[in-house]
């Protein structure tokens, strides 16, 4: 069995944060795009333009933060295969948990 090698823990955590922030933005956009009362992470159903802007802001902030702050590691061979699946899956699950918690707090 081949072991998983995540390399620098800070870089692996950066991948998880990147996946989480961008997933929140995409989830916000998808919730508004579907025009359903799904529990999106932010309550913008009455103002879909503002909600779309917030979702886009999260995606841009995720990419800008990851590639801007971690550029020194981005061009170095690192995570691949299962490591990427685990880090991005973890980030997406954290985003889904945050969205569900926000929906529960907001009573939706």
Number of domains in the chain: 1
Give the global pTM. Answer: 0.75
DSSP labels, 34-49? TTS----SS--TT-HH
Residue 94 domain-assigned (yes or no)? yes
Residue 10 domain-assigned (yes or no)? no
Six-digit token pair at 16? 């998880």
Residue 61 belongs to what domain range?
Answer: 30-106
Residue 79 domain-assigned (yes or no)? yes
pLDDT of residue 26: 85
Residue 16 domain-assigned (yes or no)? no
Residue 66 domain-assigned (yes or no)? yes
Residue 65 is given by DSSP the state: H
Mean pLDDT by 10 residues, the chain (108 residues): 64 84 85 66 71 86 84 68 80 85 73
107 alpha carbon, distance to own chain's centre? 23
Residue 46 domain-assigned (yes or no)? yes
Residue 1 domain-assigned (yes or no)? no
φ/ψ of 102, rounded to 5, equals: -60, -40
pLDDT of residue 45: 65
Q: Which residues of 6-21 are buried (b: 16+ CB within 10 A; e: fewer)?
A: beeeebbebbbbbbbb
């Amino acid at each position: 069995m081949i072991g998983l090698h995540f390399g620098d823990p800070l870089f692996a955590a950066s991948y998880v944060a990147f996946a989480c922030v961008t997933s929140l933005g995409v989830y916000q956009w998808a919730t508004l795009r579907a025009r359903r009362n799904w529990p999106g992470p932010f309550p913008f159903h009455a103002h879909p333009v503002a909600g779309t802007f917030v979702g886009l802001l999260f995606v841009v902030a995720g990419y800008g933060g990851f590639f801007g702050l971690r550029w020194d590691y981005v061009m170095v061979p690192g995570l691949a295969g299962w490591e990427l699946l685990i880090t991005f899956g973890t980030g997406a699950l954290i985003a889904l948990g945050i969205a569900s918690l926000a929906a529960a707090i907001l009573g939706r």
